[in-house]
């Protein structure tokens, strides 16, 4: 993992895209030892206008104004200890923001930024914070229910990096970070999943969410083509 930032540093990113009335998402790129790696931030607006920011990414000032016009950044979800890069600078920019991290990642996250809580009730029944079973309480997710269906926001447990090229792309595929369909990255299976059966059961529960429309992942493209079927297939791959 890259060293957490101590000042606002904008790395390459796209534009914020509204995928539902209450959801904005943006994809950026970060340099890693294996090459350029995609990363995603998602902001969910609660009924009262507060924002839940999942996997914060520093954006340029134009896009930050878009975000701030969308809502008030109130909750910052650091979904695991490997996603701390921008946490401190977001807290510096928004001192009142509440930092939330899963219990198993709290100590490591607090090396970068104080953690206010390891669980959350956002006061909006349509937005639910989940500590992912089978990960030793080290991974967080969000379920967002709306009139048009449900959006599931995951972090590292599922990847969907498909567009790869050159030596870096070859390495990503060799290491199991990229593939031709949604997948559980090989390093995640080896190092982050503590209980395969518990995680598989959670994938199946997510597949049954009412009107599951899409799955947003921190690394790779959005899963929109038969999202429930993709989750069931991933669960079956775990046994």
The pLDDT of residue 164 is: 53
Residue 149 has φ and ψ, to the nearest 5°, of: 130, -175
Query: 185 lies in which domain range?
Result: 17-237
Domain count, the chain: 1
The pLDDT of residue 139 is: 98
Could you give the angle at the alpha carbon of 182 between the alpha carbons of 177 and 188, nearest 5°?
40
pLDDT band at residue 115 under the 50/70/90 scheme = very high
- Domain membership flag for residue 6: no
The three-class DSSP label of residue 73 is: strand
- Domain membership flag for residue 71: yes
The 10s digit of each residue's pLDDT in 32-66 is: 655 567 899 999 999 999 999 999 999 999 999 99
Q: Is the pLDDT of residue 167 over 50?
A: no
- Domain membership flag for residue 2: no
The 10s digit of each residue's pLDDT in 220-229 is: 889 999 999 9
For residue 174, give both structure tokens: 């060799």
The 10s digit of each residue's pLDDT in 127-159 is: 999 999 999 999 999 999 999 999 999 999 998
- Domain membership flag for residue 169: yes
Spatial CB neighbours of 5, under 8 Å, sequence gap ≥ 6:
58, 85, 86, 88, 89
The three-class DSSP label of residue 41 is: strand
Q: How many C-beta neighbours within 10 Å does residue 239 have?
A: 7
Average pLDDT, the chain: 91
pLDDT band at residue 186 under the 50/70/90 scheme = confident
d(CA 24, CA 79): 17
Beta strand 23-32 with 127-131 is unpaired
- Domain membership flag for residue 26: yes
Looking up residue 36, the CATH number of its domain turns out to be 3.60.15.10
- Residue whose structure tokens are 């690394």: 219
- Domain membership flag for residue 11: no
- Domain membership flag for residue 5: no
Spatial CB neighbours of 119, under 8 Å, sequence gap ≥ 6:
100, 103, 129, 131
Spatial CB neighbours of 234, under 8 Å, sequence gap ≥ 6:
158, 182, 183, 184, 203
The pLDDT of residue 170 is: 41
Q: Is the pLDDT of residue 5 over 50?
A: yes
Q: Is the pLDDT of residue 208 over 90?
A: yes
Residue 26: closest CA among 34, 17, 36, 35: 17
Segments in 76-222 forming alpha helices (H): 87-93, 106-109, 166-174, 186-191, 196-207
Q: Is the pLDDT of residue 169 over 50?
A: yes
d(CA 42, CA 235): 24
Q: Residue 75 pairs with which residues in a beta bridge?
A: 52, 98
Q: What number is the average pLDDT over the span 182-194? A: 86
Torsion of CA 75, 196, 136, 182, to 10 degrees: -30
- Residue whose structure tokens are 């959801």: 23
User: Among 4-8, 36-40, 191-195, whose mean pLDDT is lowest?
Assistant: 36-40
- Domain membership flag for residue 4: no
- Residue whose structure tokens are 């079956």: 236
């Amino acid at each position: 993992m890259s060293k957490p930032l101590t000042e606002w540093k904008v790395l390459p990113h796209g534009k914020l895209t509204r995928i539902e009335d209450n959801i904005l998402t943006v994809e950026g790129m970060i340099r890693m030892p294996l090459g350029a790696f995609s990363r995603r931030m998602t902001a969910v607006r609660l009924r009262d206008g507060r924002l839940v920011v999942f996997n914060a990414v520093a954006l340029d000032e134009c896009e930050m104004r878009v975000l701030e016009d969308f809502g008030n950044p109130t909750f910052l979800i650091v979904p695991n200890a490997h996603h701390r890069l921008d946490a401190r600078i977001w807290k510096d920019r928004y001192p009142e923001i509440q930092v939330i991290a899963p219990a198993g990642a709290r100590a490591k996250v607090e090396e970068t930024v104080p953690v206010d809580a390891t669980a959350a009730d956002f006061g909006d029944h349509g937005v639910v914070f989940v500590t992912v079973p089978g990960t030793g309480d080290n991974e967080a997710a969000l379920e967002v229910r709306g009139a048009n269906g449900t959006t599931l926001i995951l972090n590292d447990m599922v990847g969907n990096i498909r567009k790869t090229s050159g030596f870096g792309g070859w390495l990503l595929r060799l290491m199991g970070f990229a593939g031709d369909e949604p997948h559980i990255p090989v390093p995640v299976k080896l190092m982050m999943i503590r209980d395969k059966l518990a995680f598989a059961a959670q994938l199946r529960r997510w597949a049954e969410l009412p009107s599951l429309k899409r799955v947003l992942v921190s690394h790779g493209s959005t899963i929109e083509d038969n999202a429930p079927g993709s989750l069931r297939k991933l669960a079956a791959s775990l046994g």
